[in-house]
Amino acid sequence: MHQKIKVGIVGGTGYTGVELLRLLALHPEVVLHAITSRQEADIPVAQIFPNLRRQVDLIFSSPDSTALTECDIVFFATPHGVAMSQARTLLEAGVKIIDLAADFRLQDTAVFEQWYKIPHTCPDILQESTYGLVEINREKISHSRVIGNPGCYPTTVILGLAPVLEKGLIELNSIIADCKSGVSGAGRKAEVGTLFSETSDNIKAYGVAGHRHHPEIVAQLSQLANSPVSLLFVPHLVPMIRGMLSTLYVKIKPEAVDIDFQRLYEERYANEPFIDVMPAGSLPETRSVRASNQLRIAVHRPQGGDTLVIVVVQDNLVKGAAGQAIQNMNVMFGLPESTGLQQIAVLP
């Protein structure tokens, strides 16, 4: 009998943590070994998350007393700064790491420190880490020990633009990303701005002067384009729990006006299990991906002009976080990529 992957989760009491548990509990190649939480230590997981009753029998343990070094892989569903404080110990014990926060997303430590206001304590580990967007870095991920799981907004923007950037078909100085996220993207914490009576029946832009996902997106887009990219990125909070919709506006280069962009996208993503390029003329909705690891893309060219409009939807907690992390784990351990991730979106 072959060995199952022994999984540890650090910080399992947030929305990303419970989503990881929901998906990993049914993953055929995984055994959940430990889940830590300083605040909830000694409380059964199913007591905090009743949806996991009779599925997950783990008890939250204190981070100090948990032998995470016994795991094959540890997911960090924690605030920024936690993963890098434990990374060295885990790697020395042969444990692989997937961080769902930002510790291993930005290769430039100065940019990281500017946006996250904490020093980067392991630049050497950062250097060997891989940005965990499987559809772009699959080969590299398969050989990696440390993965920086992408942010939710960056996932939609990068995958939405990859086909045209890889082929150099758009102007790099006028990219606009207008993005909207459900409230779960803000995390599971008590905050006035995310109260029901503040977010319901309300929509607002935020982070217009600067958002910490901006440098992450720009770094990845510039790498795909092999050239510096200028991006205007405006996130919005919309009154729903989960879901994300990003509308991307780009200017087609004069020499690329005759390209069939619909076909280009269909061909680029033809073999990707989690990217669905919609038929020409259609528009994806967030509810079509709810609770699934699917990301749907529609490509439009209004009035046949030189502007390309790309609409991308995903579930911010699945493809935008926990599902993507498991997709990375599957690649790291040589499993079929969609193992444990075949959930169909929930309707209505």
Instruction: Give the residue numbers annotated as catalytic, written as ranges.
Output: 152
Nearest-10 Cα torsion for 210, 213, 214, 220: 170
CA distance 315 to 271: 21
Please tell me the distance from the alpha carbon of residue 56 to that of residue 23, in angstroms, as a whole number.
11
Sign of CA dihedral 248, 254, 255, 260: positive
Tell me, what amino acid is at 129? S
Q: Report how far apart, in Å, the C-alpha atoms of 6 and of each of 62, 74, 170 are.
A: 18, 9, 44
Per the listing, tokens 């045209």 go with 164
Strands 295-300, 231-237: parallel, antiparallel or unpaired by DSSP? Answer: unpaired
9: phi then psi, degrees, rounded to nearest 5: -125, 125
Which residue bears the tokens 């939480």?
37
Q: How much helix, strand and coil, in percent to the nearest 5, is found in the chain? A: 35, 20, 45
Can you read off the two tokens belonging to residue 292?
Answer: 């699934």
Q: What whole-number distance in Å separates Cα of residue 49 and Cα of residue 70?
A: 25
